[in-house]
Amino acid sequence: MTEVALLTTALLFGGMVLYSFGFAAFVFNALPAETAGPLIRRAFPHFYLFVLGTSAPAAAVVAFSDDWISASLLAVIALTTVYARQVLMPAINAATDTKRKGRFKALHGLSVLITLAHIGAAGAVIVRLANT
């Protein structure tokens, strides 16, 4: 069971890192801003579904191994992803649509912090699982 949890969490970690530091950066460097912005906006709901679809099952699998710290970290990732997708992302989009740059910057900054925390937490779980 630990191997499945480790692989699922590694997929979560790798996917988040690739999307955050690879795909998004590439899109904004390769495309004009007026094209890149809408593309990223369309991609983010899928990103959040990926994070939710990997962190929630990983949390369930890890719970069976009695590593409650890792299971809790993964569950927190899943729960905060629901918030990010259902509440934060629409607020960011609304701020963009209404040209409220200050609000956009604050909300986008929060989403970046959440994603960085998710990456850090998933990395911590990988280390914990690898050492069991």
Tell me what pLDDT residue 128 has. 94
Place of tokens 């809408």: 38
> What residue spans define the domains of the chain?
2-130
For residue 5, give Cα distances in angstroms to 29, 65, 120.
Answer: 35, 9, 16
Range list of H helices, the chain: 2-17, 24-30, 33-64, 68-83, 89-97, 101-130
Judge whether 129 and 16 are in contact, CB under 8 Å.
no
Q: Say if residues 27 and 36 touch (Cβ distance below 8 Å).
A: yes
Using a cut of 0.95, tell me whether the model's pTM lies above it: no
Q: Stretch 79-108: mean pLDDT, rounded?
A: 97
Q: How far apart are CA 127 and CA 5, in angstroms?
A: 12
Q: What would the pLDDT profile of 98-122 be if each residue is shown by its tens digit? A: 999 999 999 999 999 999 999 999 9
CA-based Rg of the chain, rounded to a whole angstrom?
16
The pLDDT tens digits for 52-72 are 999 999 999 999 888 999 999
Q: Can you tell me the distance from the alpha carbon of 131 to that of 119, in angstroms, rounded to the nearest whole number?
A: 19
Q: What is the mean pLDDT of residues 30-38?
A: 93
CA 106 to chain centre: 18
Under the banding of pLDDT at 50, 70 and 90, the label for residue 2 is: confident
